[in-house]
A and B are shown apart, each in its own frame.
Chain A
Amino acid sequence: MANKQSTAQTNQAESNSSGLEISNLKIWFDTPSGPLRAVDNVSLSVNKGEIVALVGESGSGKSVTSLAALKLINTPPGRFVSGSITLNGQNILAMTEQELESVRGTSAAMLFQNPRGSLDPSFTIQEAFQETLSRHQPGLSPKECREYIETGLRQVGFNDWERVAASYPHQLSGGMCQRVALAITFACNPDLLIADEPTTALDVGIQAKVLFLLRKLNIEHDLPILLITHDFGVVRAIAHRVVVMYAGHIQEEGPVDAVLCNPQHPYTRSLIKSVPDDVGNDDVLYQIPGTPPDLVNPPAGCRFADRCELAVKRCREELPELRALAEDRTARCHLIDLSENKV
C-alpha cells in the first residue's frame, strides 16, 4: 500500500524519539487588564501508538495546549512564556514560520471539530485531496494521486469512493465530511494526529463510526493521537491515558480505566458525577457550584479550591504540586494522602 511505504520513509528521516513531548509549557495572552494565564506549567507526552485524551471544560486551556503543539497560537496576543515542545525530537518553539510549514500536516496533523468548516465549499473532495497531496507529496502523477484518493477514502469506509470524490462538501453529511477530513489528514502520513473535539458536532451513530476509524488508524499504523474532548464516554471508548485540565493547570493524569473508575482529584470526581448516566428520574443531578476562576488574577492556592467541597485553608493559600500517586498517575491536590492513596 502506497500509504504504508511513505510512512516508513518519513519515519526513517526522523530521529528515534517519536511522539509529542510538552514540558512546563506556559502560554499567556495579553489582555488590557493584564496577562491571562491560559496554560500554566503543563507537561504531557504522547508516545508512539498511544491515544491520550485531554479533558476539560471550555476555558480550561485544552485547546490552547493542542494548538500550541503546532505553534498555531497568534503571537501577540499570545505569548510563549516558558517551556518546550518537542515533536519527533524537533524543537517546535525554535522553528521559523517556514520550517513550521513543513512540519504541519506532515509531522503532525490536526482534525477539527467542525468538519464542514475544514473543507472549502467551492472545491470537490477530489480537488481538496489533490491540493493537500501536491503540498505534501509534490511530484505525484495524476494516476498515483487517484490511487491515494482511493486508498484514503476506502480507509475511512467509503466503498463508493468515486461518488464521494466527485461531491462538494455540502452534498455530504456532517459525519461524511468529518471522515473525508480524516482521510485527507491521513493522506499526508502524519506522525501524530491532534484531534480537537472531532465528534462533538456529530450524532451518536456517526460519532461511533469516526471513533472506530481513529482507533483503527491508531492500531494499524501505530499512530499517536492527542484527543481533545469534554466527553468522558469518548475518553473511555478509545483513549489509553487521560489528562484532566482545569483553569490552565493539569489536575490529574493517568490510565483511563484507573482515572475514570477511581478518580483522585475532587475536580475529576465532580466532573464524572455531573454526567447524567444512570441517574433516577427524581434525583437532582450533581452540579459543581460556582464558576471557574479569572485567569488574569488567578487565586494563590489551588485553582479549584473555591468550587471544591473538601477545600481547607491550605488549599486557598498554597498551590499544590502535581504529585505522583503511583507509577503512572499524578494529581494536583493537597488532600490526597499518598500513604493511603485516597482523598
Chain B
Amino acid sequence: MTQPLLSARNIHLTYSTTTGLIRKKNVATTKAVDGVSFDIYPGETVGLVGGSGSGKSTLARIITRLIEPDSGEVWFDGELITEISPDRMRLYRRDIQVVFQDPLHSLNPRRTIGESIARPLLNFSTPKKVALAKARELMEVVGLNPDSVSRYPHEFSGGQCQRIAIARALALEPRLLILDEPVSALDVSVQAQILNLLKELQKRFGIAFLFVSHDLGIVRYMCDRTLVMYRGQIMESGMSDDIHDLPGHPFTRNFIDTILTMDGGARWLEVASRIEDVEGTQMTTEGCVFQAACTHAMPQCRVTTPELRSVDDSRSVACHLYNEETGFSPSDLNSKYQGE
C-alpha cells in the first residue's frame, strides 16, 4: 500500500463559550472535533459529510493549520506538520490549497482576477511576468477567457468566481486541494459545471481532494471514500457508494433519509417528525453522541462512547450495534428498517 499523503491522528479541539467582559467565566464547552483520525492517499477524493455544526469545516481548517488543534497530529508527506515552525509550514502551503464556499467573498474585490490568481505565485517569489502569464494559462484551464485577466471579481457570476478561486488554488500546483462546500452557494446548472471541472482537473493533474459538503448526493458523485461526521466525531467511513446504498450507522441512515430527492420518497416526513429539538439539547458527556435521536439506542449507548471499528474490508462504524459478538453488519441495519 502506498504511503498516505496526509494523516490526521486523534485530533481534538474544544471551543469554550464565556460570559463576562473582564472576568471571563466558562459557561459551556463544545467539542468541535473529538478524536478524529483519517488518511488521504495521493490522487484520491475523500468526502467529509455532516450537518452544520458537525465539525467538518473546523477539521478542514485544522489540517491546513488555519486553526491549531488542542491535541493530535497531522502528518503530511511523512512530516509532522502540527509541530513544525511557521517558516517551514510555509513550504507546505504550496502543497495544500483551499477553495472556500462563498466565491465572491474569497476574492479581494480591489484586485483584478489576474492579480488574485497570480498572488500565490508572487508569494513564492515567482517573477511578476511569469506569474501573470501563468495566470492566463490557468484561466484557460478552468474554462475562463484569458483576456478578462484585468477585470474585477464583481464583474463575474458566482460560478465564474468559483472558477477563479479554483484557478488560484491550482497556481502553486498543490498535491492536496481542500474544497469546503465549493458548490453549495451555486445554482444547480452552475453546480454541475463546477463539479465536472473539478473531476476533469483531478484526472489531469492527479491532485488529492478533501471534499467537504453537507450534500451526500454530490459527495457520492465526487468521492471515492466518504467520512460521515456528527458532533465532532466520525460516525462512519467507507466507500461512497456503499455508504449511500447501505448506510451502517443509524445516524447515516437518518441523514440519508432526510435528503430530498426528485423521486419523492416520503421517508423524510417520518424522519422530520422525529427530529425533536435534538439540536437544542445540551450534549451529554457520556455515551454515544447520537443517543438522543437514535431509534436503536441501548442502555450501553448511554454509558460508553462507541469506538470507530472496522466492520468489513473498507467500512468502519462507531456504533455499539457492531461488535465481535453480535456480528452485526450494515445490511442487518437496513433490513431492520425495511421491516419497520
Name the A residues within 8 Å of B276 (CB-CB): 157, 159
> Known contacts being A173-B52, A274-B188, A285-B195, is A160 close to B262, with CB within 8 Å?
no
**How far is A236 from B268 in the complex, measured between Cα atoms in Å?**
12
Q: Which of B220, B241, B260, B264 contacts A231 (CB 8 A)?
A: B260
Complex interface residues of chain B between 209 and 260 (CB less than 8 A to chain A): 214-218, 220-221, 224, 240-241, 254-255, 258-260
A208 to B52, Cβ gap below 8 A?
A: no
Q: Which of B157, B262, B272 contacts A233 (CB 8 A)?
A: B262
A270 to B260, Cβ gap below 8 A?
A: no
B52 to A212, Cβ gap below 8 A?
A: no
A212 to B192, Cβ gap below 8 A?
A: no
Interface of B is mostly: helix
> Known contacts being A157-B276, A212-B273, A281-B221, is A287 close to B189, with CB within 8 Å?
yes
Complex interface residues of chain B between 146 and 190 (CB less than 8 A to chain A): 157-158, 187-190
Count how many chain B residues have C-beta atoms less than 8 Å from C-beta atoms of the other chain: 44
**How far is A182 from B158 in the complex, measured between Cα atoms in Å?**
29
Name the B residues within 8 Å of A260 (CB-CB): 262, 264
CB distance from A146 to the nearest CB of B (A): 21
Q: Which of A211, A232, A274 contacts B191 (CB 8 A)?
A: A274
**How far is A206 from B54 in the complex, measured between Cα atoms in Å?**
13
Name the A residues within 8 Å of B216 (CB-CB): 204
Interface residues on A, range: 35 or more
A230 to B188, Cβ gap below 8 A?
A: yes
**How far is A202 from B189 in the complex, measured between Cα atoms in Å?**
20
**How far is A270 from B188 in the complex, measured between Cα atoms in Å?**
10
Complex interface residues of chain B between 48 and 75 (CB less than 8 A to chain A): 51-53
Is B10 an interface position by the 8 A CB rule? no
**How far is A286 from B224 in the complex, measured between Cα atoms in Å?**
20
CB distance from B87 to the nearest CB of A (A): 38
B interface residues, Cβ below 8 angstroms from A = 51-53, 157-158, 187-193, 195-196, 199, 214-218, 220-221, 224, 240-241, 254-255, 258-264, 268-269, 271-273, 275-277, 279-280
A interface residues, Cβ below 8 angstroms from B = 57-58, 157-160, 163-164, 172-176, 202-209, 211-212, 215, 230-234, 236-237, 257, 260, 270-272, 274-277, 279, 281, 284-288, 291
